[in-house]
Amino acid sequence: MSTSIPPNTIGRKPAAVQQTLQTIKVPDVLTYSYENQLVYVVAAKTYDEGIDYAVELFPALKGVDRELISFEACIPIEKGKSKPARIGPMAWLRVVATLKRGDTLTIRVHPRAAASRSPSPALGAPPMYVPAGAVGDGLNEKASRDFLSPFDALAVPSAPSGSAFERLSSLFTRSRPSSPTPSASR
């Protein structure tokens, strides 16, 4: 048994498209699946209504940000095989209309975007810095190339000479390019 979508829930569309959307039939009952639980639901008319049903039926979703909840339907990819496809809010009505009575929609909760999270301890510490010219004194050459030096942009390549201490101290005693300062005279 199928039900028609009332015209006032579809939104404004050109007349021909509006007429087509009014006649779309959707199944009267679908199955929601979340964390190995299955629940029969009346087919939602909109994506937001579908989210409302999911939050109401699965207590674990009550504190979850609605934008992190999505639906998936299995689509055939080749004979006897299917693959889950996420349903976008704008495609809700058309996708649900292709489903059969009792078909399953899987509910997924997506993690927050990495940019909005605080830094994770799993990322580790920032890279170690080794002064330029200190390579070769007890350090593995390859490992040393992997380090970053804050002075690399200012260091002038030269042939290594003397001890590591001399080379290191020369980095701090080298004259640095000075920025132009306005002259005192006008």
- Give the side-chain half-sphere CA count within 13 A for 111: 5
CA angle 175, 181, 183 (to 5 degrees): 125
For the beta carbon of residue 51, count every other beta carbon within 10 angstroms: 20
pLDDT value for 73: 95
CA 51 to chain CA mean position, Å: 20
CA 11 to chain CA mean position, Å: 30
Q: What is the pLDDT along the chain (186 residues), one digit of tens a residue?
A: 555 554 444 444 555 544 455 667 889 999 999 999 999 999 999 999 999 999 999 999 999 999 999 999 999 899 989 999 999 999 999 999 999 999 999 999 999 865 444 555 555 666 666 666 555 555 555 555 555 555 555 555 555 556 666 666 666 665 555 555 555 555
- CA distance to 4, 26, 48, 114, per residue, from 45 (Å): 9, 9, 9, 32
Minimal CA–CA distance to 57: which of 36, 74, 40, 71? 40
Cα–Cα dist 39/104, whole Å? 9
In percent, how much of the chain has pLDDT > 70? Answer: 48
The alpha helices in 110-180, defined as continuous H runs, are: 141-145, 164-173
Look at the domain 2-111 and name its fold.
Ubiquitin-like (UB roll) (3.10.20)
Max Cα-Cα span within the chain: 92
Decide: helix, strand or coil at residue 179. coil
| pTM for the structure as a whole | 0.51
Mean pLDDT computed over every residue of the chain: 74
Minimal CA–CA distance to 58: which of 67, 48, 69, 47? 69
128-176: pLDDT as tens digits: 666 665 555 555 555 555 555 555 555 555 555 566 666 666 666 655 5
Cα–Cα dist 48/63, whole Å? 16
So where are the chain's domains?
2-111, 127-173
